[in-house]
Amino acid sequence: MFLDYYNLSPLLMQIHAFLCSVMPEWLALTLEGLVVGVFILVMYAVLAIILIYMERKVCAAFQCRIGPNRVGGKGGLLQVPADVLKILTKEIISLKHSDHFLYALAPFLVILASILTFSCLPWNKGGEILHMNIGIFFVLAASSIGVLGILLAGWSSNSKYTLIGAVRSGAMIISYELSIGLSVLTMVVMSGAMDIQTIVEGQANGWNIFKGHIPAIMAFIIYLIAGNAEANRGPFDLAEAEQELTAGYHTEYSGMHFGFFYLAEYLNLFITAGIATTLFLGGWMPLHIAGLDGLNMVMDYIPGFVWFIGKTFFIVFLLMWIRWTFPRLRIDQVLTLEWKYLMPLSLVVLLLMTVCKVFGLTF
Amino acid sequence: MEIEKITSIIPEAEISQTGETVVKVPAEKLHQIAETLLNDKENPMDFLRDIVGMDWGEEGLGALYLLESTRTGARIILKAVTADREKALLPTVSDLWKTALIKEREVYDFFGICFLNHPDMRRIFLREDWIGYPMRKDYDMNSNPLRMDNEENADMTDEYFLRPDGTLEGRKNVVFGEDDFVVNIGPQHPSTHGVLRMRTSLDGENIRKIDPILGYIHRGIEKMNESLTYPQTLALTDRLDYLSAHQNRHALCMCIEKAAGIEVPERAQYIRTIMDELQRIDSHLLFYSCLVMDMGGLTPFFYGFREREMILDIFEETTGGRLIQNYNMIGGVQADIHPTFQQKVKDFIKHLRSVIQDYHNIFTSNVIADTRLKGVGVLSKEDAISLGCTGGTGRASGWANDVRKHHPYALYNKVDFKEIVYTEGDSFARYMVRMDEIMESCHIIEQLIDNIPEGEFRAKTKPIIKLPEGVFTSSVETSRGEFDVVLESHGDKVPYRLHYRSTGLPLVHAMDTVCRGAKIADLIAIGGTLDFVIPDIDR
């Protein structure tokens, strides 16, 4: 199979075998763990910088502006790294009359949830970092740690604005997790697996969104709406709601503590898009159309991680487009949308998908 | 007509005819007369335009009440005086007109006149521990050194009433109770459009009560005016509502010209009218930008600013200023229009007509914008009149109150334009009134821009202007409501008292009525659609 051109696992196995031959296995595993950990963190930071730069440029394009264009040449390429450096040097202000332990813990919980979910993304064939047979289940579980961090941040800051922001966020994220869970479940029914690599490999002869036709497309749209809400981005950014609550739950944070929230927000955007890519658009799987072997072969020459990142950034662009077009919803409207429309609809979609699967109506 | 009615009740009412007709009524009969005028069958004086506090020195302290009938447009000024400076008392009219609730507090704050039976006699602009009443003529300027301690806002307020035997009695009223969850929206807040503070009591996300606290940027412009010559007073009007700079100054110029009997050349009238309308478009574009930004839509914000920039460029070429233009002068305008002015204005209007559909596509027809605005923050017509919410806010509630139509000035009786009136009274109606007015203003400018007559742009005036004794008023329709100038002259080259009707004060006062039961997010959207500007409240 041409697919194996870019399979990373033989290479990784060779490295592992080599390390085991020169040192005891526990040491080799520890060393590999360290390298992978550093790799994750570096990827995390680099992606955040790319996403922030992309957001600025995309937003500028929608708003008839140019965007960053001074620091680092005409494109303003060094603007975001400069901002990152700046935020690293900022003082972390500690508050009087706040719960210091929880206050300091909250940003780490948020970033921890984000990194755990991030590690599950299928970058390439054989390129997964956390691999388990209930991978998608783990993603759902890990991502919901984040809301705990948000609630703690709002509560421990001892400010009314942050409290309102945190309660809003809590109500919203817990509600929208239902829709996300149900639309993910729809795709699990379709692929018959909870393992992320198996789900991706099941799309070798056509992406799920094509194979699952109507129910898959509906689930995709529900997932995008709910995922956007999960990531706290406009038009669902009422937890931050700059115009109402100044900055919502992270009003009282400064320096890198604030930076963690900011970083997690952008990476959650990427993760939302990444999971959408995995479930609906084939993850790292190239575009395959059953029967057209010539095209499939050409597509296979493009490496998997290029496919994955390309598709993910396409969805990120879609989400940015939505953010910079719509005004913000109100809290009761957000909850009405979820409980009265999205949740019943996703139950129907799940049922529809099950019926399709049982009667073999999927491709 | 009204005067006869008053004299039939109290024959001793004094009528002075210098300048505007002012009817002086005894303080103890004020409430009775006000009630009669309000409840008149065919000509009810249901719109209290303003209450102007006054210190007449020997004669005593008192206030002018400017009344108008929304049915016929008839106007009258009542004057009530109390001679006792230590214990100055006037009866409240806040039970008749709701707008008096806040305006009487302003008079109390600056003149120390206590209004009997007013439920909330707190200071509103100044600190609660302020010493003395600064607008009195005998106020000691050194009595309040700069304080570095924080101001505590009391949760209780005072109400005063007279016992039958004539002694004064006080009672405490509760503003916020023990179990109210009070959030400060402002004074430093992104969406209060200036330094406004609203103490907001919340029940979850729902709003129970709003108590505005004003005065964070109060500059004492009215007090300063009392030591400035008439041409000097002009410099300060642009700093009131900076988005109605031309119109504010237009009103003051008109008032002085009327009092001094100066004839304004035709050319200047054309220029003033065009500038007023350009200013209105400028302000409404900014309204659009700010409203969408308040609601979280950042992209349309830039649309509004893109077009507004073009107006500012046109202003800059002719007047030299962009936000603050200092263009109107007594007897005309500062300078003639720039040679390219007419062409640029015509090009701009053509451009605006071609892009305005984009504004509606991205925001007006957006499903989220619709659900956020329609049916939210309803202000009934009765409340709008009683609260004195003029301008687009009143017109959205079905109250036809456009000064340009009902009391025409400059060239407004020569041009053809529609008065935009909606009846829903919700946020969406308030938004649509402004969007439609942009197009009406374009229509007005198009009728004038090609017909500007040749001639003088400014009448010759004496170097020192002295006005005859009397009370003079003028009113214009600014971008956000009726702006009145009330000028009392004692024959000097400086005004004895120069008062401006704040267009924003009734709107901020209306927030409590409109927002009750709404959500925090609605508070911001409603504040955006009411469209107040703070420097105009904190004069």
Could you tell me the two tokens for B311? 């107006």
Residues of chain A contacting B190 with CB distance shorter than 8 Å: 242-243, 246
- Read out DSSP for A182-195? HHHHHHHHHHT---
Strands B61-68 and B497-500: unpaired
CB of A354 closer than 8 Å to CB of A189: yes
Same domain, B93 and B241: no
Closest-CA residue of B relative to A332 is B519
Containing B42, the helix (H) or strand (E) segment is none
Report the mean per-residue pLDDT for chain A: 84
Same domain, B258 and B388: yes
First-last CA distance in chain B: 35
Closest-CA residue of B relative to A321 is B299
Closest-CA residue of A relative to B362 is A325
Mutation for testing the A interface, residue in B180, B182, B191 having most A CBs under 10 Å: B191
Q: Which range among A170-179, B140-149, B323-332 shows the weakest confidence by mean pLDDT?
A: B140-149
Contact A243 B298 (CB under 8 A): no
Round to whole Å and give the CA distance between B299 and B305.
10
Query: Strand runs (DSSP E) across B226-365, as ranges?
Result: 328-329, 332-333
Calculate ∠ Cα B476-B478-B484, nearest 5°: 40
Q: Is B524 on the interface with A (CB under 8 A)?
A: yes
**Within a domain: residue B213?**
no
Could you tell me the two tokens for A236? 């669902």
pLDDT of residue A2: 46
Q: How far is CA A135 from the centre of its chain?
A: 14
Contact A164 B205 (CB under 8 A): yes
pLDDT of residue B2: 67
Ramachandran region of residue A337, left (φ > 0), alpha (ψ -120 to 50) or beta?
alpha
Residues of chain A contacting B303 with CB distance shorter than 8 Å: 64
Same domain, B169 and B256: no
Residue B401 has pLDDT above 60, yes or no: yes
Same domain, B444 and B303: yes
Between chain A and chain B, the number of residue pairs with CB atoms below 8 A apart is 81
CA distance A87 to chain B (A): 22
SS3 of A347, please? helix
Residue range B525-533: mean pLDDT, rounded: 87
Residue range B228-233: mean pLDDT, rounded: 88
Compute φ and ψ for B500, nearest 5 degrees.
Answer: -115, 135
Q: How far is CA B399 from the centre of its chain?
A: 16
Same domain, B415 and B506: yes
- B471: domain CATH number? 1.10.645.10
Closest-CA residue of B relative to A247 is B190
Same domain, B325 and B389: yes
Q: Which residues are B79's β-sheet partners?
A: B24, B64
Residue B502 has pLDDT above 70, yes or no: yes
Q: How far is CA B125 from the centre of its chain?
A: 16
Handedness of CA B521, A317, A292, A186 (dihedral sign): negative
Contact A328 B296 (CB under 8 A): yes
Ramachandran region of residue B186, left (φ > 0), alpha (ψ -120 to 50) or beta?
left
Ramachandran region of residue A315, left (φ > 0), alpha (ψ -120 to 50) or beta?
alpha
Residues of chain A contacting B197 with CB distance shorter than 8 Å: none
Contact A164 B520 (CB under 8 A): yes
pLDDT of residue B152: 77
Could you tell me the two tokens for A52? 């922030």
User: Which residues 265-284 on chain B approach chain A with CB closer than 8 angstroms?
Assistant: none
Residues of chain A contacting B291 with CB distance shorter than 8 Å: none
Residues of chain B contacting A64 with CB distance shorter than 8 Å: 302-303, 306
Containing B243, the helix (H) or strand (E) segment is none
Residues of chain B contacting A242 with CB distance shorter than 8 Å: 190, 296
Contact B183 A333 (CB under 8 A): no
CA distance A121 to chain B (A): 31
Q: Least CB-CB distance to A327: which of B181, B292, B522?
A: B292
Q: Is B303 on the interface with A (CB under 8 A)?
A: yes
Q: What is the CA radius of gyration of chain B?
A: 23
Contact A63 B191 (CB under 8 A): no
Could you tell me the two tokens for A204? 């070798």
User: Which residues 330-349 on chain A approach chain B with CB closer than 8 angstroms?
Assistant: 330-333
**Within a domain: residue B528?**
yes
CA distance A283 to chain B (A): 32
Domain that holds residue B42: 2-137+157-173
Residue A103 has pLDDT above 60, yes or no: yes
Q: Tell me: the pLDDT tens digits for B24-71?
A: 888 888 888 888 888 877 788 888 888 998 888 888 888 889 888 888
Contact A328 B522 (CB under 8 A): no
Q: Is A56 on the interface with B (CB under 8 A)?
A: no
Which residues in B508-529 are b (16+ Cβ under 10 Å) and which e? Answer: bbbbbbbbeebbbbbbbbbbbb
**Within a domain: residue B215?**
no
pLDDT category at A5 given cuts 50, 70, 90 is low
pLDDT of residue B433: 92
pLDDT of residue B285: 92
CB of B304 closer than 8 Å to CB of B297: no
pLDDT category at A3 given cuts 50, 70, 90 is low
SS3 of B422, please? coil
Contact B368 A234 (CB under 8 A): no
**Within a domain: residue B197?**
no
Residue B449 has pLDDT above 60, yes or no: yes
pLDDT of residue B284: 92
Same domain, B130 and B275: no
Mutation for testing the B interface, residue in A330, A331, A337, A341 having most B CBs under 10 Å: A330
CA distance B373 to chain A (A): 11
Q: Is A62 on the interface with B (CB under 8 A)?
A: yes
pLDDT of residue B193: 78
Same domain, B295 and B391: yes
Q: Tell me: the pLDDT tens digits for A339-355?
A: 999 999 999 999 988 88
Closest-CA residue of B relative to A63 is B299
Contact A331 B190 (CB under 8 A): no
Residue B186 has pLDDT above 70, yes or no: yes
CA distance A159 to chain B (A): 10
**Within a domain: residue B187?**
no
Round to whole Å and give the CA distance between B352 and B85.
56
pLDDT category at B1 given cuts 50, 70, 90 is low
* Residue A89 CB neighbours (<10 A): 8
Mutation for testing the A interface, residue in B203, B291, B295, B360 having most A CBs under 10 Å: B295
CB of B104 closer than 8 Å to CB of B110: no
Same domain, B133 and B253: no
Q: Is B183 on the interface with A (CB under 8 A)?
A: yes
Query: At how many degrees (to 10) do helices A145-156 and A255-280 cross?
Result: 160
Q: Tell me: the pLDDT tens digits for B130-139?
A: 888 888 888 8
Round to whole Å and give the CA distance between B84 and B174.
29
Q: Which range among B11-20, B209-218, B415-424 shows the weakest confidence by mean pLDDT?
A: B11-20
Same domain, B269 and B163: no
Q: Least CB-CB distance to B296: which of A59, A160, A234?
A: A234
Query: At how many degrees (to 10) do helices B30-38 and B2-9 cross?
Result: 140
- B24: domain CATH number? 3.30.460.80
**Within a domain: residue B198?**
no
pLDDT of residue A4: 65
pLDDT of residue B281: 92
Q: Which residues are B66's β-sheet partners?
A: B50, B77
Q: Which residues are B55's β-sheet partners?
A: B61
Residue B276 has pLDDT above 70, yes or no: yes
Same domain, B293 and B436: yes
Q: Is B374 on the interface with A (CB under 8 A)?
A: no
CA–CA distances in Å: residue B1 to residues B37, B93, B240: 11, 22, 35
Q: Least CB-CB distance to A330: which of B301, B366, B372?
A: B372
- Residue appearing with tokens 């420097």: B535
pLDDT of residue A279: 87
If we measure between CA atoms, which residue out of B379, B361, B360, B359 comes closest to residue B526?
A: B379
Closest-CA residue of B relative to A160 is B183
One-letter amino acid for residue B314 of the chain: I
Residue A125 has pLDDT above 50, yes or no: yes
* Residue A174 CB neighbours (<10 A): 13
CB of A343 closer than 8 Å to CB of A177: no
Closest-CA residue of A relative to B302 is A63
First-last CA distance in chain A: 22
pLDDT of residue A237: 81
Same domain, B124 and B255: no
Contact B299 A62 (CB under 8 A): yes
User: What was the ipTM of the complex prediction?
Assistant: 0.81
Contact B519 A164 (CB under 8 A): no
Contact A327 B191 (CB under 8 A): no
Q: How far is CA B220 from the centre of its chain?
A: 16
Which DSSP category does B255 fall into? H
CA distance A170 to chain B (A): 14
Residue range A37-56: mean pLDDT, rounded: 88
- Read out DSSP for A39-93? HHHHHHHHHHHHHHHHHHHHHHHHTT-----STTTTTTTTHHHHHHHHHHHS--P
SS3 of B519, please? strand
Round to whole Å and give the CA distance between B452 and B493.
33
Report the mean per-residue pLDDT for chain B: 86
User: Which residues 69-108 on chain A approach chain B with CB closer than 8 angstroms?
Assistant: none
Q: Is A65 on the interface with B (CB under 8 A)?
A: yes
Round to whole Å and give the CA distance between B169 and B179.
28
pLDDT of residue A1: 45
Residues of chain A contacting B522 with CB distance shorter than 8 Å: 330
**Within a domain: residue B529?**
yes
CB of B521 closer than 8 Å to CB of A244: yes
Q: Is A209 on the interface with B (CB under 8 A)?
A: no
If we measure between CA atoms, which residue out of B212, B210, B150, B157 comes closest to residue B180?
A: B210
Round to whole Å and give the CA distance between A337 and B124.
42
**Within a domain: residue B203?**
no
Round to whole Å and give the CA distance between A12 and B124.
73
Q: Is B292 on the interface with A (CB under 8 A)?
A: yes
User: Which residues 219-278 on chain A approach chain B with CB closer than 8 angstroms?
Assistant: 234-235, 237-238, 241-246
Residues of chain B contacting A332 with CB distance shorter than 8 Å: 205, 519
CA–CA distances in Å: residue B448 to residues B182, B221, B316, B442: 52, 34, 20, 10
Residue A17 has pLDDT above 70, yes or no: yes
Total domains in chain B come to: 2
CB of B212 closer than 8 Å to CB of B197: yes
Residues 6 or more apart whose CB falls under 8 angstroms from that of B530 comprise B389, B393, B430, B507, B508, B510, B511, B514
Residues of chain A contacting B362 with CB distance shorter than 8 Å: 325
